[in-house]
Amino acid sequence: MSLLEKEKIWMLPVYRRLPVEVNKGNGVYLYDNQGKCYLDLLSGIGVNSLGYRHPKIMDAIHKQLARNLHLCNYFIQDVQIELARQLVELTGLSKVFFTNSGTEAMEGILKLVRKWGNDYGKS
């Protein structure tokens, strides 16, 4: 039974999938179970915009996995502060705000807009 057939049994049909059973990714390419190569123009819908299996990215992931897989924003860690510093320097902005989702990003911008409005007497 193919993955597409199994999907119909166990998953809600929220969107139509491409009929490709991806086995691995490398660089900007994806490979199916038969080894056929596809140029990934979707990039995981923006999540994998740096491609797959780049040695520097793999090294950074392995180093982080040896420390911890994930920490919520209640904790401080050096790599997050270093990324914030680099983003501030590259963008010329004064601060960054890391989020886990688009919903949190929207909440953050709404809070900033409300703060700006309060500071300037706007609603």
pLDDT of 74 reads 87
pLDDT of 99 reads 85
pLDDT of 47 reads 76
The dihedrals phi and psi of 35, each to the nearest 5 degrees, come to 90, 5
* pTM of structure: 0.65
Q: What is the CATH T-level fold of the domain 1-69, as seen in this structure?
A: Aspartate Aminotransferase, domain 1 (3.90.1150)
CA–CA separation, 67 vs 24, rounded Å?
Answer: 25
Buried b (16+ CB within 10 A) or exposed e, 80-114: eeeeeeeeeeeeeeeeeeeeeeeeeeeeeeeeeee
Contact criterion met (CB below 8 Å) for 31 and 24: yes
Domain boundaries, the chain: 1-69, 70-123
Both tokens assigned to 18: 């491409």
Task: Write the CB contacts of 122 (distance below 8 Å, at least 6 apart in sequence).
Answer: 116
- For the chain, 123 residues long, give each residue's pLDDT as a single digit of tens: 888 899 999 999 888 888 899 999 999 999 999 999 999 998 877 777 889 999 999 999 999 999 998 888 889 999 999 999 999 999 999 999 888 788 988 998 999 999 999 999 998
Number of H helices, E strands in the chain: 4, 3
